Amino acid sequence: MIKVDEKGFYGKFGGAYIPEMLYPNIEELKENYEQLMASEEFQKEFRSLLKDYVGRPTPLYFATRLSEKYGAKIYLKREDLCHTGAHKVNNTVGQIILAKKLGKKRIIAETGAGQHGVATATVCALMGMECTVFMGALDIQRQRPNVERMKILGAKVVPATSGSQTLKDATNEAMRQWINNPVDTHYIIGSVVGPHPYPEMVARFQSVISEEIKWQLKEKEKTENPDIVIACVGGGSNAAGAFYHYYNIPQVRLVAAEAAGLGVSSGKSAATTALGTPGILHGSKTLLMQTEDGQVVEPHSISAGLDYPGIGPVHAHLFDTGRAEFVAVEDEDAMKAGIELSRLEGIIPAIETAHALHSLQMIEYKKEDIIVINLSGRGDKDLDTYIKWGGY
Ligand SMILES: *Cc1c(COP(=O)(O)O)cnc(C)c1O
C-alpha cells in the first residue's frame, strides 16, 4: 500500500493547492470519501459492478511467444479487456458510486484525447446522471470518434476555447464549473492527479489491478510477487494500480515507462521525470515540465494518453526516492513494440501500453525473472495513428 499523509503528501509531493473558492468542494469530498469507501454497502456495489459490468477479474495471461523472444517469464495483465477497452473505467465506476452516495446529481469531467470522457459518459449513462465533459476545442477536432461516442452515451461535450484549446484549458473550465455548482455536482478526475484526495482515491480504485495480480500469480507461479512490474505513466493511474500492493515489498522492482516523444532532448517529449522540476500542476505539488519562469511546457507524445506535462505526485515520490525505475520511450520505439505484440501474441495494444512493452529493451533482468506488464488498453482507438505511422 502506498501511504499518503494527512495533508495528502507522498514525501515532498502532493497536497491540495487550490483556489479558496474550491475549498468547500474538496473538504466535503475529503471528509466523506474514506468513510464511504470503507462502508460495506459501497464495497458491495463497487465489487459487483467491477465483476458484472467492467468484466473483472481481468486475466493474467502468460505470453508464451513474447517470453521466448525476451528470455523471461512475461505475464500480461489484461486491462485491455475491461469494458470500454482500458483501465480508466475502474476509477469512473468507483467515483460515480461515490457521487451518488454523496447525493450529487450532475457529473463533470475534463478530457484530452477523450478516453476519460468516454469512461465518464459510460458510467453516467449507467447511473442515469447528467454528464458534462469539457474538452479543448482543438482536441474536439482531433478526436472526433470519441466526441461522438460521448454524445451517443448522452453526455454534453463543451468546448474549451481559451489558451491552447487543449487539456489544461478543459481542466480550468471544469474547475470553474465545479466552483459554481458545489452542491449538486461531482468532478470526476481521470488519473492520480489533482488536489488531495483525488490522487489517493483514484489509486485506491485502480489498486484492484495489483490485488488481482497477487492471487492470480499465486495460482500460476506459487508466489504472489513477480520480480518486476512494468506500466506506462501518463498521469499514472494504471501504474499506481499495478504497483499499489507491491510498494512495500522492496524485492519487487517497479518500472514506469514515460513518453520520450521524438527524443528526451528534442523539445517534443513528455518525459516528465527526465525533464521536470518541482512545481504546482492541477492542484498538487509534483514534477512537471516548465520553463524557468514557471510556464507549463506543451508536451508531445504520439499517444494521446501520455501527452501530459506532469505526473501524479505519487510517481514524483517513487522517482524521488528511487523506489521505481523510470524509462523514457520514444514514439518510434513504442510503435514498433505495438506491432511486435500484435504479431507475437495477437493483441493490438493501445499506443500508451506499447511504451511499457518497449521498456523490456531498456531494463536489465534475468532469464528466470517473472515480469508482469500492465496492458492498460487495447489499440482499436489508435488505429488511425497506426495507419498514419505505417511501418508494419
Ligand atoms: C489514459 C490511458 C493511459 C494513461 O493514463 P494513466 O493515468 O497514466 O494510466 C494509459 N493507457 C491507456 C490505454 C489509456 O487510455
Domain end: 202, 226, 260, which one?
202
For the chain, how many helices (H) and strands (E)? 16, 14
Summarize pLDDT for 86-96 with one digit per residue, the tens: 999 999 999 99
For the CA of 237, the closest atom of ligand 1 is 7
Summarize pLDDT for 248-293 with one digit per residue, the tens: 999 999 999 999 999 999 999 999 999 999 999 999 999 999 999 9
Range of the domain at 154: 17-50+88-202
Indicate if the pLDDT at residue 164 is higher than 90.
no
Per the annotation, the verdict on 376 as an active-site residue is: yes
363 lies in the same domain as 316: yes
Per the annotation, the verdict on 164 as an active-site residue is: no
289 lies in the same domain as 370: yes
pLDDT at 331: 97
- What confidence tier does 304 reach under pLDDT thresholds 50, 70, 90? confident
167 lies in the same domain as 212: no
Summarize pLDDT for 194-252 with one digit per residue, the tens: 999 999 999 999 999 999 999 999 999 999 999 999 999 999 999 999 999 999 999 99
98 lies in the same domain as 234: no
The dihedral formed by the CA atoms of 192, 193, 195 and 199, expressed in degrees to the nearest 10 = 10
Question: What is the whole-number distance in angstroms between the Cα of residue 228 and the centre of ligand 1?
Answer: 20
219 lies in the same domain as 151: no
- What confidence tier does 165 reach under pLDDT thresholds 50, 70, 90? confident
71 lies in the same domain as 32: no
Summarize pLDDT for 328-386 with one digit per residue, the tens: 999 999 999 999 999 999 999 999 999 999 999 999 999 999 999 999 999 999 999 99
138 lies in the same domain as 163: yes
> Which grid cell sits at 173?
473550465
Does residue 9 belong to any structural domain of this protein?
A: no
Residues of the chain with pLDDT > 70, as a percent, come to 100
Ligand 1 pocket by Cβ (under 6 Å): 86, 88, 115, 191, 232-238, 305-306, 350, 352-353, 376-377
**Eight-class DSSP state of 247:** T
67 lies in the same domain as 94: no
CATH number at residue 192: 3.40.50.1100
For the CA of 238, the closest atom of ligand 1 is 9
Sort strands 284-288 and 277-281 into parallel, antiparallel or unpaired. antiparallel
39 lies in the same domain as 69: no
26 lies in the same domain as 113: yes
Indicate if the pLDDT at residue 193 is higher than 80.
yes
Partnered with residue 255 across adjacent β-strands are 230, 325
256 lies in the same domain as 345: yes
Does residue 371 belong to any structural domain of this protein?
A: yes
Closest CA to 168 of 319, 352, 295, 314: 295
Nearest CA, atom 3, ligand 1: 305
**How far apart are the two ends of the chain, measured CA to CA in Å?**
41
Question: Is 303 within 8 Å of 352 (Cβ atoms)?
Answer: yes
Does residue 2 belong to any structural domain of this protein?
A: no
Domain end: 185, 202, 219, which one?
202
Domain end: 167, 202, 237, which one?
202
pTM over 0.75: yes
What is the mean pLDDT of the segment spanning 109-127?
96
For the CA of 239, the closest atom of ligand 1 is 9
Which residue in the list 77, 104, 110, 191 is annotated as catalytic? 110
Question: What is the whole-number distance in angstroms between the Cα of residue 110 and the centre of ligand 1?
Answer: 14
Question: Is 237 within 8 Å of 191 (Cβ atoms)?
Answer: yes
Question: What is the whole-number distance in angstroms between the Cα of residue 190 and the centre of ligand 1?
Answer: 9
For the CA of 241, the closest atom of ligand 1 is 9
Per the annotation, the verdict on 110 as an active-site residue is: yes
265 lies in the same domain as 287: yes
Q: Which of 91, 110, 115 to mutate to test the pocket of ligand 1 (most atoms within 8 A of CB)?
A: 115
pLDDT at 163: 83
Does residue 149 belong to any structural domain of this protein?
A: yes
For the CA of 85, the closest atom of ligand 1 is 13
Does residue 102 belong to any structural domain of this protein?
A: yes
Q: Which amino acid is at 387?
A: I
More confident residue, 217 or 175: 217
Question: What one-character-per-residue DSSP string does 290-351 give?
Answer: B-TT-PBPPP--SSGGG--SB--HHHHHHHHTTSEEEEEEEHHHHHHHHHHHHHHHS--B-H
Does residue 97 belong to any structural domain of this protein?
A: yes
- What confidence tier does 388 reach under pLDDT thresholds 50, 70, 90? very high
Which residue in the list 285, 359, 376, 381 is annotated as catalytic? 376
> What is the tally of structural domains in the chain?
2
Q: Which long-range contacts (CB under 8 A, 24 or more apart) does 181-186 make?
A: 181/106, 182/24, 182/25, 182/28, 184/104, 184/105, 184/106, 185/104, 185/105, 185/106, 185/107, 185/108, 186/95, 186/98, 186/99, 186/102, 186/104, 186/106, 186/107, 186/108
Q: Cα–Cα distance between 167 and 164 in angstroms, integer?
A: 9
CB atoms within 10 A of CB 66: 22
Which residue in the list 88, 104, 168, 285 is annotated as catalytic? 88
pLDDT at 166: 84
The verdict on whether omega for the bond into residue 159 sits within 30 degrees of 0, i.e. cis, is no
Does residue 342 belong to any structural domain of this protein?
A: yes
Residues of the chain with pLDDT > 90, as a percent, come to 90
pLDDT at 182: 85
Does residue 4 belong to any structural domain of this protein?
A: no
Question: What is the whole-number distance in angstroms between the Cα of residue 355 and the centre of ligand 1?
Answer: 11
